[in-house]
Chain A
Amino acid sequence: MRKTLSDLLVQAAANDPCFLLLTGDHGYALFDCLRAEKPDRFVNCGVAEQNMVGVAAGLAKAEMRPVVYGLAAFIPIRVLEQIKIDLCLAQLPVVMLGDGAGFVYSSLGSSHQCFEDIAALRALPHITIMSPSDRHELVQCFEAVRASQGPSYIRLCKADLGDVHADGEAVRTGDWIFPVIAKRQRTICLATGSMVRIAQRAIERRALPVDLHSIARLKPLDPAAILDICRNRDRIVVAEEHSIFGGLGSIVSEAIAGKITADLRFLGIRDKFSGECGTYQHLLHFHGLDEDSVLEALAENV
């Protein structure tokens, strides 16, 4: 996924004279190709994320098309007010890349982990929120937000979990839902980002009779699209490497409330910080989001 992102940035720099990549002194190796090929399009704004977002707003007002890179813990969380006032209220075409969302920086501790970004951003008018599950979805998400006229955020989770979709098979609906397993089975798992791949592995391991859809665009998202894929199910399991408050679980709940009666389960971070150090897999297990935990939740009574 990181190679794909690097390629996308190099292509954008080559094709668009208005493209600029802004970073808050993060992402060292990720930008090697961009810096080698288009060094004048790389702007290191220093360890000053708030100013960086304001600068991006100014650039966009003057018809540049900046892409702002940061760790999700900082972009968007540290700069939420700049996003609200400088980007969303002004409706400026700035793309934000929030890297390492969830527990990617597991061993560095809670300052670098982020499972509140979707909740924080969803309440802001005009923003588009993308959460691709693999490199194929990432390409489509990146191209879409680069073409959009308003602010957007791409949430980047663990990048090396492998592809969800085979080459050429990442086909989305108009609402940016990518079906992974779509057999109208009684149980459906709606997942986003890293949890799509993790759920896919769990389902394949036991050949569970469970449908799986990747929700790649979290905002805007037509509730009718969620309602449609949730009809005629006994159980709906939502999986996200994000708090159970305000993320995909909330989106699904809002969409189906009062309209569908099903056994609705939420797999996500249950209102706690990562209490201990460890690998990414260790923290997935700590929060009940590793493959075994997901398998258990999906297999129950199936």
Chain B
Amino acid sequence: MAFAGSTVHIGCAFSIVEILAVLYRDHLSYPENRADHPLRDYLVLSKGHGVMAQYACLREKGWIERAELENYFGNGTRLRGLAEADIPGIEVTAGSLGHGLSVGVGLALAAKRKDGPQMCYAIVGDGEANEGTIWEALMFAAQFGLDNLIVIFDKNDFQAMGPTADIINPFDLAGKLRAFHFETMVVDGHDETELGTAIALLKSAKNGLPKAIIAQTVKGKGVSFMEGKNIWHYTRLTHETYAAATQEVTAPLK
């Protein structure tokens, strides 16, 4: 997809692959496999730049076609470079950062007021957490006791122009979230077992506290020459790098 469309934002898609895999495989409920079912769980990809990883999941759900991935970025097609909410399964248009979490909070509030069973999962980037609206939304979620909300921070330690530590340092993100009254866990964001255990545990705790998972991740995870190399926020694949990356991500696990 990234090669076909000659697109950027590969690194920020690779850091959330396992998070999405665990959510779609084990947690997200879509009755009748309908992306718009009124009783569905909500997945809000607030860091809309990672959308390529979500497109792969939506293909698995059968909501977009394989040809759409192969024609990514073609004229007249519908899959854009940033999450847009007219695609089945994408809840919020999230190319402008700091929007999705607030909408997710509204979805969680609506579900809670209706005593519905639904969960809302929101994936927020650590760069995105520069936005003030993220913190507005966190305060609101705590005030309204949204224990059906799990905010997953993709802490890949990079933002567009460099390491978060050099731009807007999140410092003790877990400590901040706990101070904001979130039940917070820190996990390896590429370890599906750890992720799954944390989500299951937090989902079952109906204690009036909103939940947060800090997923420690690696930007560009899975391709040795992309891992931790922020240039892959903006670099496009060539024939050579595409072949090398494909070989790495399809190689059998050692």
Contacts and interface: CB of A to CB of B under 8 A. Distances in A.
A85 B106 contact: no
Contact of B103 (A46, A57, A63, A81): A57
A150 interface: no
B38 interface: yes
Given A46-B143, A50-B133, A50-B136, A62 B106 contact: yes
Interface in A127-149: none
Contact of A61 (B84, B91, B96, B99): B91
B38 A58 contact: no
Contacts of A55: 102-103, 105-106, 109, 137, 140
Given A48-B139, A53-B102, A61-B106, 15 more contacts: A46-B139, A46-B140, A50-B132, A51-B136, A51-B137, A54-B133, A54-B137, A58-B103, A58-B106, A62-B38, A62-B114, A82-B102, A86-B93, A89-B84, A89-B93
B36 to A, nearest CB: 10
B38 A54 contact: no
A90 interface: yes
B103 A48 contact: no
B110 A85 contact: no
Nearest to A79: B133
Contact of A48 (B85, B107, B140): B140
A85 B96 contact: yes
Contact of A54 (B84, B103, B110, B143): B103
Contacts of A64: 110, 113
Interface residues of B, number: 29
Contact of B96 (A53, A57, A81): A81
A45 interface: yes
Most buried by B among A50, A54, A63: A54
A36 B197 CA distance: 45
A59 interface: yes
Contacts of A85: 93, 96, 99
Contacts of B93: 85-86, 89-90
A56 interface: yes
Contacts of A45: 140
23 contacts: A50-B132, A50-B133, A51-B137, A54-B102, A54-B103, A54-B137, A55-B103, A55-B105, A55-B109, A55-B137, A56-B106, A57-B106, A58-B107, A58-B108, A59-B106, A60-B106, A61-B91, A62-B106, A81-B96, A82-B102, A86-B92, A89-B84, A90-B93
Most buried by B among A46, A64, A86, A89: A86
Contacts of A48: 133, 136, 139-140
**Prevailing SS type, chain B contact patch:** helix
A86 B105 contact: no
B104 interface: yes
Considering the complex of A and B, which 3 residue pairs feature the smallest CB-CB distances, nearest first?
A: A58-B106, A54-B102, A62-B110
A62 to B, nearest CB: 3
Contacts of B124: none
B182 to A, nearest CB: 16
A59 B136 CA distance: 17
A56 B104 CA distance: 10
A228 to B, nearest CB: 37
B65 to A, nearest CB: 23
Nearest to B84: A89
A60 B106 CA distance: 8
B105 A51 contact: yes
B19 interface: no
Contacts of A50: 98, 102, 132-133, 136
Contacts of B106: 54-62
A57 B51 CA distance: 21
Nearest to A94: B106
Most buried by B among A45, A55, A58: A58
A51 B85 CA distance: 18
Nearest to A64: B110
Contacts of B212: none
A53 B100 CA distance: 11
Nearest to A66: B106
Given A85-B96, A89-B85, A90-B85, A54 B105 contact: yes
A219 to B, nearest CB: 22
Most buried by B among A46, A48, A51, A63: A51
